Chains A and B, each alone.
Chain A
Amino acid sequence: MDTNSMSYKTKNFLMFAGVTTFVFVAVVIAPFVYGLYLTLTSWDGVSLNKPFVGLANYSATFADTAYWQAMGRTMIYTLIAVVLVNIVAFILAFLVTSGVKGQNFFRAGFFVPNLIGGIVLGYVWKFVFNRAFVAVGEALSVGALKTSWLSTPKGAMLCLIIVAVWQYAGYMMLIYVAGFMSVSNDVIEAAKIDGCTNMQTIVHISVPLMVSSFVQCLFLTLTRCFMVYDVNLSLTKGEPFNSSVMAAMHVYNQAFTYKNFGTGQAEALILFVVCAVVGMAQVYIGKKAEVSA
């Protein structure tokens, strides 16, 4: 049998990867390319013809102040959420690897929020913010809690950040736990013998050896926060007064509520490019900081 002939290759490729190639192209590649074309047309989502408009959608995007406001808001949200998620996750990982009793139980518990979809989580927290916090505020007469945080623009943003930290910290904790485990005991002991305190060992030995965990966690939280939609929809729905509409929600509304599919797609594309550039830059800088023991 000639394993170098074209027919053998084609037959084998199609037999194993034919369906995969078809589904992948049909669901990812074709829509991606078609999406690039859509940004050059004006389409309302109903009519059969899609008039070609050149770069009008891109100029509409640049003129869309609501979009850039949403983008700026998303960046602030992402920045604060990413920092807090990783600080909390790192502390959790440190605590559950420090040899206290029941650490597996704690690990499992902190991970629970990741099991549940953003829509349901958002509604659960809506209840907490709207009812529970207010009830506590009234019972203890704490002014800051008496009105729901979700009713003010700054408060709604704070709520979104709190939920993001709560939602992702357990997941990132697992990655940091793997990082802590990968630092060998020999180096830790050597540092201790040389007179390092626990704190010094973490800062000067563990953290530099865990840079790859940091890169990974930062990338994951960054991309997830940037593209937040589910929790945004169920927790705040963009309210009050559209002050908590994140970029992804703005894109969704632009296309499916206001029926500007072309502009919506152009805005989605720019959002993706910004997110990708930030993500890549972070990974690039992080990789440079990696050291080995």
Chain B
Amino acid sequence: METLNEKAARNQKIAAVVKICLLLVLFVAFVFPFILVIVNVFKVKADITMNPMALVGAHGFTMQNFPNAMEKMHFWRSFGNSACITIISTALTLLLAAMASYVLVRNNWKACGLLFGAMIASMVIPFQVLMIPLVSLYGGILGLLGHRATLIFMHVGFSLSMATFMFHGAINTNVPIALEEAATIDGCSKWQTFWQIVFPLLKPTIATVAIIDAMAFWNDYLLPSLVLTAKELYTIPIATQVFYGTYSTDIGLIMAALLLAMLPILILYVFLQRFIVEGVTSGAVK
């Protein structure tokens, strides 16, 4: 006869198998759209239309979709625009937010309270509320639309609140004030203290903020589509959208364009997976 322990052990085994099966089914459902794109990108148009579910098309394997799509969506130009805008915006956000949060944490001046309060409050404002006045101010009145620099300026402006808030918390908890006092006694100015003592201690938060913001900038569509009015300035999401509008019947090209749009960030994810998952989680939990 089976003892109670044996029964429990058997139940546990069954539960583990059920869990694994459930996970596998869900996993397949989650990656299915990506697999489908990858499978179809190597087929000619007629084969995709015939049967998108077949692994290999009747006309066999083709690589031709890639060069065609790359040429027509100006892939490298869009990639360069996206990379340039993402990198500069992220770097500026990090520097400006870290500096501002330092003065905000360490002083109880009126201006500090006012700025921090305004930033916290502004975090609930969705972009849709600001886009119309933004376009009319920067487009209609100042005539500044159509430059990468304007987009970078706006990206930085929108992400500063969140970044400052996160650095604020990090300085509060991770930077001992005694360390700064020691530096002051040794003759460091506030400026030197910040760059040599405080900033290096913020590394984990810098990584978190960099990951969250860089992903947001890279994937953003609505703001860039309003600011970048000229074709030469298009980022990858806009280029994909315009490409889809023009070639929506040429499904092979579309598959290649979609895969190309996803590839850079997926490749990065393979290498930085741990940091990205941790960064996004700690960003959300704060």
A residues whose Cβ falls under 8 Å from a Cβ of B: 9, 12-13, 15-17, 19-21, 23-24, 26-32, 34-35, 38, 43, 45, 92, 95-96, 98, 100-101, 106-120, 123-125, 127-128, 131-132, 135-136, 139, 166, 170-171, 174-175, 177-178, 198, 216, 220, 223, 227, 229-230, 233-234, 248, 251-252, 255-256, 261, 264-265, 268-269, 271-272, 275-276, 279
What is the predominant secondary structure among interface residues of chain A facing chain B? helix
Closest chain B residue to A23, Cβ basis? B157
26 contacts between A and B (CB under 8 A): A9-B107, A15-B191, A20-B97, A20-B100, A24-B122, A26-B153, A27-B130, A31-B134, A35-B133, A100-B20, A111-B280, A116-B219, A116-B266, A117-B220, A120-B240, A123-B240, A123-B258, A127-B33, A127-B36, A127-B251, A135-B52, A178-B281, A252-B131, A255-B132, A264-B132, A265-B129
Is the pair B122, A28 in contact by a Cβ cutoff of 8 Å? yes
Report the minimum CB–CB distance from B130 to chain A (whole Å).
Answer: 5
B63 at the interface (CB under 8 A from A): no
* Known contacts A216-B284, A229-B222, A261-B136; A20 and B237 CB within 8 A of each other: no
Contact present for A115 and B269 (CB under 8 Å): yes
Known: A27-B153, A95-B22, A108-B277. 7 other contacts (CB 8 A): A16-B103, A23-B153, A38-B132, A113-B30, A114-B280, A120-B262, A268-B128
Bound CA span A151–B285, Å? 39
Residues of B within 8 A of A112 (CB): 30-31, 34, 266, 269
User: Shortest CB–CB separation between residue B162 and chain A, in angstroms?
Assistant: 11
Establish whether residues A31 and B244, one from each chain, have CB atoms under 8 Å apart when the complex forms.
Answer: no
CB pair B33 A125 closer than 8 Å: yes
A13's contact among B26, B109, B136, by CB below 8 Å, is which? B109
Determine which of A118, A234, A264 lies in contact with B244 in the assembled complex, contact meaning CB atoms within 8 Å: A234
A100 engages B16 (CB within 8 Å): yes
Shortest beta-carbon distance from B222 to chain A in Å: 6
Bound-complex Cα distance A194 to B47 (A): 61
Residues of chain B contacted by A220 (CB below 8 angstroms): 284
With A16-B194, A23-B157, A139-B53 in contact, do A35 and B215 touch (Cβ < 8 Å)?
A: no
- B33→A45 contact, CB < 8 A: no
Contacts of A275 in B (CB 8 A): 126
Shortest CB-to-CB span from B194 to chain A, Å, is: 7
Kindly state whether residue B156 has any CB partner on chain A within 8 Å: yes
Asked if A124 contacts B109 (CB within 8 A), the reply is no
CA distance A51 to B110 in the complex (A): 38
B88 at the interface (CB under 8 A from A): no
Which residues on the A side are within 8 Å of B99 (C-beta)?
16-17, 19-20
The answer, among B157, B160, B215, B258, for a CB contact under 8 Å with A120, is B258
Shortest distance in angstroms between B136's beta carbon and chain A's nearest beta carbon? 6
Contact of B66 with A by CB under 8 A: no
Of all chain B residues, the one with the shortest Cβ separation from A116 is B262
Nearest CB of A to B121, in Å: 10
Contacts of A15 in B (CB 8 A): 103, 190-191
Contacts of A31 in B (CB 8 A): 130, 133-134, 137
Is B271 part of the contact surface with A, judged by Cβ < 8 Å?
no
Of B71-79, B111-119, B173-181, B200-208, the one touching chain A: B111-119
> Which A residue's beta carbon lies closest to that of B164?
A20
Shortest CB-to-CB span from B144 to chain A, Å, is 11
| Chain B interface residues toward A at CB < 8 A | 15-16, 19-20, 22-23, 26-27, 29-34, 36-37, 40, 48-49, 51-53, 96-97, 99-100, 102-104, 107, 109, 111-112, 115, 118-119, 122, 124-137, 140, 153-154, 156-158, 160-161, 164, 190-191, 194, 215, 218-222, 226, 237, 240-241, 244, 251, 254-255, 258, 261-262, 265-266, 269, 273, 276-277, 280-281, 284-285
Smallest Cβ-Cβ distance to B115: which chain A residue: A21
Q: Is the CB of B161 within 8 A of A24?
A: yes
How many Å from the CB of B208 to the closest CB on chain A? 13
Contact between B222 and A230 (Cβ–Cβ < 8 Å)? Answer: yes
CA distance A220 to B124 in the complex (A): 11
Bound CA span A242–B116, Å: 42
**A170 touching B218, Cβ below 8 Å:** no
Are the CB atoms of A34 and B103 closer together than 8 Å?
A: no
Q: Assuming A23-B96, A123-B258, is B215 touching A95 (CB within 8 A)?
A: no
Q: Do A216 and B266 have beta carbons less than 8 Å apart?
A: no
Cα A114 to Cα B241 in complex, Å, equals 19
Q: Which residue of B lies closest to A254 (CB)?
A: B132
Q: How far is the CA of A276 from the CA of B240 in the complex (A)?
A: 32
Closest CB-CB distance, B267 to chain A, in whole Å?
11
Nearest B residue to A109 via CB reads B27
B27 contacts A107, C-beta separation under 8 Å: no
Whether B240 and A119, one on each chain, are in contact in the complex, defined by CB atoms closer than 8 angstroms, is yes
Q: Smallest distance from the beta carbon of B196 to chain A beta carbons, Å? A: 15
| B254-A123 in contact (CB<8A) | yes
